[in-house]
Each structure stands twice: as structure tokens, then as C-alpha cells.
Chain A
Amino acid sequence: EVQLVQSGAEMKKPGESLRISCTGSGYTFTDYWIAWVRQMPGKGLEWVGFIYPGDSDARYSPSFQGQVSISVDNAVNTAYLQWSSLKTSDTALYYCARHAQRSFYSAFDPWGQGTLVTVSS
């Protein structure tokens, strides 16, 4: 079974750094793009960016370019979403999702369970 498992909820202060993770299993991790999606409280889905673990090629939504960083560690089949200086507006639920096909021109399936990030002073 293809599965993505995300790290647990985080509570941080503005200005702090954070890295959340997404570990894949049940498939060849390096063959499929992994995307990150934000869902702010009570709102819809927003694409953050994605990465190809095969060569660490990462692409970002213009809305998130320069605000976050996406990376992978293929030794542990894990993708990361990282902030160097959090803002209160980063408070949201963050999902990772695998592209369903070996191309970024494909839908997202499956999705991780989500990681809640709360940023508050």
C-alpha cells in the first residue's frame, strides 16, 4: 500500500524556524514527485510547491517562492517543508501528497494525514 506519513503538530513563535516531514512507503520514493499543499483555517487548498526526489528538482508556487524551502532525504524516503522565520500567517494545516503518475502533470494521490502548524506569540 502506498502511504505518506507526516510529522506531528507543531506550535512555534514568530521568527522561529521549522521543518516538517513526509515519509513515503510502499513505492519507489525517487520515482514520483511529492507536493506540499496549505490549508489555512476554514479555507481551501493552496499548492505550495513540489519536488522530484530523483534529482531534488524543486518548484514553487509564486505565492510561496522565497518563503519556504522543500527538500528530500532519499536515504529515509522523506520530503521536508522548511521555514527559516515563521510568521503568524503561516498558521495552517500542511499536507504532502504524491503525484499519481511519474510526471508532475498528474493528480495527487495519495495524501498524507496533514501537519498542523500553529504560530503564535
Chain B
Amino acid sequence: ETLLTQSPATLSVSPGDRVTLSCRASQSVSSNVAWYQQKAGQSPRLLIYGASSRATGIPARFSGRGSGTEFTLTISSLQSEDFAVYYCQQYYNWPPSITFGQGTRLEIK
């Protein structure tokens, strides 16, 4: 099973900050990585797929990069509505096996 390790677990930031979240895979997953945002009491929402493609309706301040084992999600200028938990996910393995990272929580400093 491919493990995904996200860092940091929690990040205290201020509105307007630029933040970069990290996701590392225990083996190569090519570019088959997605990022999700989950706000309290809500279902996860797809932000990024294919490591770097923004999902429909996602603001341009969200961007993803990486391939192989190292991936990042960058929010260029944090808005108040961006404080949430962010999960990375890989969907590469055969036999089919999907894993999520443990999440990074963005908190208001």
C-alpha cells in the first residue's frame, strides 16, 4: 500500500499569507494525486487533480505541483474561507488501491 505523508499537521497562518502544503508518497504515484478541502461539517471538495489541474470552479489562488513522490498545494493569498483541513489522495496503484494523507489543518494565527 502506498502511504501518503502530509506536512505539517497544523499550520497557523494569517489572511493574505502564501502557504505551501506538502504531501510525500512512499513510492511513485506518477501524477495521480488529488487535493481536497474539507471545512467543518462539510463534505470534502475536490481542488486539484492530476497533481496540477484545478477542478471546475476552483479559484486560481490554488495551485498544485509535483510528480513521482513529492507534491505540493500552494494557496497564493489566503482568504478567510480557506481555513480548513486539506487532504492529498493518490489513485495510482494496481490492484486498485486509493489512499489519503492524514490531512493538514490551516488555522488562523
Contact = CB atoms under 8 A, between A and B. Distances in A.
Contacts, number: 62
B92 A105 contact: yes
A106 B1 CA distance: 17
Contact of B97 (A61, A97, A100, A112): A61
A46 B97 CA distance: 11
Contacts of A105: 32, 91-92
26 contacts: A37-B44, A44-B100, A44-B101, A44-B103, A45-B89, A45-B103, A46-B100, A47-B99, A50-B96, A50-B98, A61-B97, A61-B98, A62-B1, A97-B44, A104-B91, A105-B32, A106-B91, A107-B91, A108-B34, A108-B44, A108-B46, A108-B89, A109-B55, A111-B43, A112-B43, A113-B43
Contacts of B91: 104-107
Contacts of A50: 96, 98
A34 interface: no
Interface in B43-62: 43-46, 49-50, 55
B46 A100 contact: yes
A107 B31 CA distance: 11
Main secondary structure of the interface of A (DSSP, over half): strand
Contacts of B98: 35, 47, 50, 61
Interface of B: 1, 32, 34, 36, 38, 43-46, 49-50, 55, 87, 89, 91-92, 95-103
B73 to A, nearest CB: 13
A92 B100 CA distance: 17
Interface string A41-57: 00011110010000000
Contacts of A110: 46
B62 to A, nearest CB: 14
B56 to A, nearest CB: 8
